[in-house]
Amino acid sequence: MSDSLRFELVSPERLLKDTTAAMVMVPGTDGDFAVLPGHAPMMSTIRPGVVEVYESEDGEAEHLFVKGGLAQVTSSGLTILAEETLIVGDVDAADLAQKLSDAREDVEDASDDIVRARAEKTVEWMEALTEVIS
């Protein structure tokens, strides 16, 4: 068994990350899960949260916030198809707080169920990101 796995993070626009990793922690819809080399094949939807990429067993994790998406584990590694990805360290807390406040107002002011659902989804990922950076 290899001591690393191939990890790809893909957004709708481009390939964001293509590396080898010792472990990747994924915020699955049914709970967080770790992917290690030799992991059984599986698929999972991803909730808004942090993907932690450990490139070595004793190294620091890189933290990437994903708004949601899909994770696929195969014999060759892990691929995450993310709706959108943010680098946690680059997030401005004050700006995020203002945007979250605006999004909550959008939920209250929604003219129909479709607009409300979109606004609620925005509030959901912004609240998750707020928890991560605080």
State the pTM of this model. Answer: 0.83
pLDDT value of position 2: 63
Tell whether the model's pLDDT for residue 72 goes beyond 80.
Answer: yes
- Quick: pLDDT tens for 27-64: 999 999 999 999 999 999 999 999 999 998 888 999 99
The half-sphere exposure of 31 on its side-chain side, counting CA atoms within 13 A, is 2
**Which CATH number do you get for residue 34?**
2.60.15.10
Distance of CA 42 to the CA centre of its chain: 17
Q: Quick one: 30 and 52 in the same domain?
A: yes
Q: Quick one: 50 and 14 in the same domain?
A: yes
Q: Quick one: 51 and 81 in the same domain?
A: yes
Tell whether the model's pLDDT for residue 1 goes beyond 50.
Answer: no
Residues for the chain: how many in total? 134
Domain total in the chain? 2
| 42 in Cβ contact with 8 (< 8 Å) | no
Q: Quick one: 61 and 14 in the same domain?
A: yes
Tell whether the model's pLDDT for residue 106 goes beyond 50.
Answer: yes
CA angle, residues 108, 50, 43, in degrees to nearest 5: 100
pLDDT value of position 82: 94
Domain that holds residue 124: 91-133
